[in-house]
Amino acid sequence: MREAVVVASSRTPLAKSFRGSLNLTRPDDQLAHCIKDALRSLGAEVVSDRVAPQGKIITAAGVSAGLDMALTLVAMECGDDLAQAIQLSIEYDPQPPFDAGSPEKAPDAIVERLKNRSRFVTRQ
């Protein structure tokens, strides 16, 4: 298996058509988009689901997504009834006060404010 290792990145303006606009983009954001494109070119499906089961591997993203993943695993292995019984027994009933849990849903001003603070906040 071949490994790809990113050893450095730099901010440079790319192509006249961009007028150097990528110079303002964080290097790790540029890398994230490159990785997504590379994965897509290899046939991988890039998803933004909280829980993404793929055969024997299940991944989860987000603070409470671990609970979602655990309930998904229980449902897959033992059935929906048990998963729902566990959810009820731990009273897991997420009801966030705002629908701003992803860059696609959050207000533009909030996304812009956080872009410089977090490598995870990007909007495609």
* Domain boundaries along the sequence of the chain: 1-46
Helix residue ranges per DSSP H, the chain: 15-18, 27-41, 65-78, 80-89, 108-115
Count H helices and E strands in the chain, helices first. Answer: 5, 2
| pLDDT higher than 70, residue 5 | no
| pLDDT higher than 60, residue 75 | yes
Mean pLDDT of all residues in 70-76 = 91
| 57 vs 76: CA distance, rounded Å | 12
| pLDDT higher than 70, residue 123 | no
Q: Give the pLDDT of residue 15.
A: 45
Better-scored residue on pLDDT, 13 or 94: 94
- Kindly report the pTM of this predicted structure: 0.51
**Residue 52, beta-bridge partner list:** 59
Mean pLDDT of all residues in 113-119 = 74
| 121 vs 2: CA distance, rounded Å | 29
Here the tokens at position 28 are 């790790």
Better-scored residue on pLDDT, 9 or 53: 53
Q: Give the pLDDT of residue 25.
A: 64
Q: Give the pLDDT of residue 77.
A: 92
- Range 34-70 burial, b when 16+ CB lie within 10 A, else e: eeeeeeeeeeeeeeeebbbeeeeeeebbeeebebbbb
Please give the single-letter amino acid code of residue 16.
K
